[in-house]
């Protein structure tokens, strides 16, 4: 009877207790994703594909003329996706879920719309560049000020 209880105990403890830490999910550079006529954005390098129509509709009010857009996307150390595009006034932060990207936060970054957005990693932040404007440091909560050491 004791021999039978060992595999059962191992199976029960193995289901929820295993965590591989530390883990860094960050992408070193942004990806630029084209959107096809069906509204699908795809990045072969990181093997991600998603329907961008709801995002484009939220930002522009248009989900029909989607293929003229390309998205800028980067993943931070914790695994959240930061997404924006030319003309967007916001950066959208998504978490991954079962078969979906789920909105975590919407960060207002421009009153007029971004002209030339680009992302970089600047741990612990994601840096947003926009042409000659001063770079913005972002995290899950929004725009941050760099802490001086």
Specify the pTM.
Answer: 0.86
Mean pLDDT of 117-127: 96
Domain positions in the chain are 21-144
Return the pLDDT at 148: 52
Q: Would you call 52 exposed, middle or buried from its count of C-beta atoms within 10 A (0-12, 13-18, 19+)?
A: buried
122-148: average pLDDT: 91
Long-range CB pairs of 137-141, under 8 A, 24+ apart, other chains included = 138/82, 138/91, 138/107, 138/109, 139/76, 140/76, 140/78, 140/80, 140/93, 140/104, 140/105, 141/105
Could you read off the pLDDT of 4-13 as tens digits, one per residue? 555 545 455 5
């Amino acid at each position: 009877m004791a021999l039978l209880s060992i595999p059962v105990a191992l199976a029960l403890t193995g289901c929820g207790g295993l965590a591989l830490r530390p883990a860094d999910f960050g992408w070193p550079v942004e990806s630029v994703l084209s959107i096809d006529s069906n509204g699908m954005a795809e990045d072969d390098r990181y093997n991600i594909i998603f329907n961008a129509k709801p995002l484009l509709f939220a930002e522009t009010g248009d989900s029909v003329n989607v293929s003229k857009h390309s998205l800028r996307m980067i993943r931070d150390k914790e695994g959240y996706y930061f997404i924006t595009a030319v003309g967007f006034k916001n950066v959208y932060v998504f978490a991954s879920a079962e078969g979906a990207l789920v909105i975590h936060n919407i960060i207002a970054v421009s009153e007029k719309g971004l002209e030339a957005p680009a992302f970089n990693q600047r741990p612990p932040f994601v840096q947003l560049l926009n042409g000659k404007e001063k770079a913005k440091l972002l995290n899950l909560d929004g725009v941050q000020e760099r802490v001086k050491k």
